[in-house]
Amino acid sequence: MLVRYSLSEDNKLIINYYAKTNKPTHINLTNHAYFNLSGDFADTINDDLIQINASHYLEYSNTGVPTGKLKAVENTCFDARKMGPFTRLLDLTDEQVRSCEGVDTTWVLGNENVLVHAASVLNTKAGRRINVYTTEPGMHVYTSNYLPAGVKGKGNATFMKRGAVCLETQHYPDSPNIPHFPSTLLHPGEVFTSQTIYAF
């Protein structure tokens, strides 16, 4: 397996994944970086704006794994097809949001092996924006719901709940156990390739 990180002259972080195997192997790789576009660890992501180019999301059970159902985002708090505040996703009346204490959900991008624009996040105060492109069929969004209070990071900054967001491009979780999900099985003689771009 090889993961290559590249920085372009036009402010793109490009991640290319490659893998081979000598036995049938399930593979589902992602990047779990946390993004705080404000540049101030005292700020949360609540006032950031987000757009996700997906008409469906995965339903999760209360055990934290997908049920296998793809649900339409329309008329739900998971509808982020238009740019809007993160807070609209944090509807604690929704069981899936409440059980995770925030967003911890996979959106269905409807592609596989074709580079698409998955999402955008904008911090209006700092004027920073990130556009996410990927060849993966899904993107998992996690709003750092479980960070314990008082965790110290770079520069002795104190991290906090919802102080950053993860935009994890990947195949759907639990794919080996749900036959109608896009396959994660890699066979001998095949080459797994995947690309994700974070453009700033």
Known catalytic residue: 168? yes
DSSP 67-101: EEEEEE-TTSTT--SS-EEGGGG--TTSHHHHHHT
Coil, helix or strand for 177? helix
Q: Name the catalytic one among 32, 74, 187, 190.
A: 32
Cα(101)–Cα(51) distance, integer angstroms: 21
E-strand spans in the chain? 2-7, 12-19, 25-26, 34-35, 49-52, 56-60, 66-72, 84-85, 104-108, 116-123, 128-134, 138-142, 165-170, 185-186, 192-199
Known catalytic residue: 95? no
Amino acid at 32: H
Q: Where are the alpha helices (DSSP H) in 76-188?
A: 95-100
Please state the length of the chain: 200
Q: Name the catalytic one among 56, 140, 168, 171.
A: 168
Cα 62 vs. chain centroid, distance in angstroms? 20
Place of tokens 């002795």: 156
Looking at the annotation, which residues are catalytic? 32, 168
